[in-house]
Chains A and B, each alone.
Chain A
Amino acid sequence: MASLLAQAPILIIAIPLVAAFLTPLIGMRGDKARKALVVGSLAFTAFLVFALARDISITGIRVYTLGATAPGLTEPTGFMFPVRIILEVDGMSIFFGIIWAIVSLAAAIYSFSHIASETGQIRFFTLLLLMVAGGFGMMLTGDLFNLFVFLEIASIAGGALIGFRNRFGDTQEGAFKYIVVSAVAGLMVLLGTGILYAQYNSLNMAFLAQAIQYTTLDKIALALFLIAFAMKTGMVPLHLWFPDAYSVAPASITGMLVITSHACMYAAFRVCFTLYGGVIDGLVVGWIIIILGLLTMFVGVTMAVYQKDVMRFMSYHAISQLGYMWVGVGVGLAVLGTPALLAYGRDAMTGGIFHILNHAMYKPLLFFTGGALFYYTGTRDLAKMGGLAHKMKWTTVLYIIGTLSISGIPPLNGFSSKILIYESVFRFNPILTIVGIIVSILTLASFTKAFHSAFMGAELPEYKGGKEVPKSMIIGMVILAAGIVLITLFPSLIVSWALHPAADALIDHGAYINAVMGAVP
């Protein structure tokens, strides 16, 4: 077990990657073998993620150097700086890893029935596993160039999966937009990386964090990183592609795309707090993030109320909720290095990160229920739905759980993170809390509207003959609902075990640097 744990950082990326390429081979032996491979590889990866998380909570940051005689040997003999590819796993990265492990497993199980009638399932699961590998890579890497590479892997796989149902024109349009946006964002990340490499001769984040001077070029690179990652998360006004792409993908993939947005958010946090943490003008960058975050919350929810397409409706809500996270962490950045950080900044960041965890549970769940509605009715148009609660009892209950959670209704988990954000950002600026509460009210109003349109009312004649969605889809949704219940019941445990270490990992950028640079013989 100890040797397995020692190799865990690379195995977490390698297992889904190898499984992706094995899928076409194993898939030739039939559906069951393919499903066993997909679930087995994802479940084992999830096990490794949890084991690594436990280990990190005890021993601290874990560094893994590829190609070294020992994983902790970050610098080859005779070198003064790291040249090899290094994976660096701290409280923040493993927190995102846990989210990605749970959601990807739930999405894979959900997919078995959701895309059962589609052709090309081998390609689907190959791409799904590649996307998982790309996501884990983004979260665990300690190297800027590899961050770009893993971003590209996740984006290309994601784009192909959005266009998976290629008999529909809108899926191809959505996939095209996603690929264009991802390619441009990826190029900007590469350009930013190039700017830093040209100045400091290294791609290692810990080394760069130590060496960075915050020159004009560094500031331009920061703007490129921040806005490129922000666009990938769907931050307003860069969100326009988001509903076009997310609404047409298979629901299981949309659930995973939400987490790739989180991965890009993680990358933005890593750049701001770790890479630039020692030199950043936190107040200015923090306010840029806060203003764009507020816009994201408000525009996202007001556009969501307006929607009639269930998946576009869900997509706009995903945008809106991402705004809460930006605001929470933005406040933490704005007060970084001041006494206010301890007074309320850390709590604001914890609230923002808590909301990421909650969002990672209820948003894919809601997308899955949207997918279940599409599966049952054959349409995404809410105007054509009604009375579905008569036949889709499981979906109805799971939708209600997701709705109450996203709207921040007590006692669900969405409330815990929102109250933490409201109460902490209030001390920074009360307007942030006021906007947050208004957005929360509009969220509940819009989900009530969608609930009434789809589930309430008398049973419509066109849907009388149907039956509830297949078991694997329900299991996928129940996994996420169970996550919601767990977080609802034990908020304190989650905060102390996962969220405070994650927030502290961002704040203490010196620990991140020392884990790599401190290993000099």
Chain B
Amino acid sequence: MTFIFESGYTFWNPLIWIIVFLVVAIMVYFFRRSGQKGYKKDTDQARIFLSGEEVPEAGERHIRVGNIYWGFFETLKEYYKQMLRIHTGIVNDYMLWFVAVTVVSAIILVVAGLVR
């Protein structure tokens, strides 16, 4: 069957997943339908409640990209410091890397040939 993907130790049938997703989607739709029918747009019912505090404007309450995963970056601060140091933006440096990697690869190939 063309849906089933099998190669020795890999078995994979996307249809099963799609059926599971469809069942979940139908369930979500069912739960949503059984929600409040008396909901009215643009009234206090739809307004955000923040424990009585004043709700900031949309732009101010949106968590921007710079604030996401702060802890991850803080933990890997040293790694990123080194990485950013390499990314100089200068094309001469890019070429130096190219020369270095080519030379090292050529040496490895030649030396490995002599050893084996």
Binding site for B on A (CB under 8 A): 176-177, 180-181, 184-185, 188, 214, 216, 219-220, 222-224, 226-228, 230-231, 237-238, 240-241, 244, 281, 284-285, 288, 292, 299, 302-303, 305-306, 308, 344, 347, 350, 382-383, 386-387, 410-411, 415-416, 419-420, 423-424, 445, 449-450, 452-453, 457-462, 488-493, 495
Contacts and interface: CB of A to CB of B under 8 A. Distances in A.
Interface string B59-100: 101111110110011001001100100111101011101100
B59 A227 contact: no
Contacts, number: 157
11 contacts: A223-B102, A223-B106, A240-B87, A306-B73, A386-B64, A410-B14, A411-B18, A415-B12, A423-B10, A453-B68, A488-B14
Say what secondary structure dominates the interface of chain B: helix
Given A181-B94, A306-B73, A461-B58, A284 B112 contact: yes
A238 B101 CA distance: 8
Contacts of B83: 299, 302-303
A231 B102 CA distance: 10
A231 B98 contact: yes
A206 to B, nearest CB: 23
A360 B116 CA distance: 39
Interface in B1-21: 1-10, 12, 14-18, 21
A26 B64 CA distance: 47
A95 to B, nearest CB: 17
Contact of B5 (A188, A220, A457, A492): A492
B108 interface: yes
A402 B87 CA distance: 27
Among B14, B57, B59, B61, the most chain A Cβ lie within 10 Å of the Cβ of B14
B68 A449 contact: yes
Contacts of B4: 492
Given A180-B91, A227-B102, A306-B80, A383 B110 contact: no
B109 interface: yes
B64 A244 contact: no
Nearest to B20: A411
B50 to A, nearest CB: 13
B86 A495 contact: no
A219 B109 contact: yes
B113 interface: yes
Contacts of B87: 240, 303
A513 to B, nearest CB: 22
B91 A219 contact: no
Contacts of B58: 386-387, 457-461
Among A188, A285, A306, the most chain B Cβ lie within 10 Å of the Cβ of A306
A157 B88 CA distance: 26
Contact of B66 (A308, A450, A460): A308
**7 shortest interchain CB distances as A-B pairs:** A411-B17, A458-B58, A223-B106, A411-B14, A453-B65, A491-B5, A382-B65
B10 A281 contact: no
B55 to A, nearest CB: 10
Say what secondary structure dominates the interface of chain A: helix
Contacts of B89: 244
A423 B97 contact: no
Given A383-B64, A491-B12, A227 B105 contact: yes
B110 A347 contact: no
B2 to A, nearest CB: 5
B72 A305 contact: yes
B98 A219 contact: no
A181 B91 contact: yes
Contacts of B93: 240
B9 A423 contact: yes
A181 B76 CA distance: 30
B72 to A, nearest CB: 7
Contacts of B18: 411
B62 A458 contact: yes
Contact of A214 (B7, B10, B69, B113): B113
A181 B96 CA distance: 11
A284 B108 contact: yes
A240 B86 contact: yes
B86 A237 contact: yes
A503 B63 CA distance: 46
A419 B12 contact: yes
A492 B6 contact: yes
Given A445-B69, A458-B62, A219 B113 contact: yes
Among B59, B80, B98, the most chain A Cβ lie within 10 Å of the Cβ of B98
A237 B91 CA distance: 13
A219 B16 CA distance: 49
B7 A305 contact: no
Nearest to A420: B10
Interface string B11-35: 0101111100100000000000000
B115 to A, nearest CB: 10
Contacts of A223: 102, 105-106, 109
B65 A184 contact: no
Among B59, B65, B102, the most chain A Cβ lie within 10 Å of the Cβ of B65
B79 A281 contact: no
A177 B108 contact: no
A147 to B, nearest CB: 18
Contacts of B97: 237-238, 240
Contacts of A220: 106, 109-110
Given A220-B106, A237-B101, A493-B2, A386 B91 contact: no
Contacts of B10: 347, 419-420, 423-424
A490 B109 contact: no
A411 B109 CA distance: 41
B57 to A, nearest CB: 8
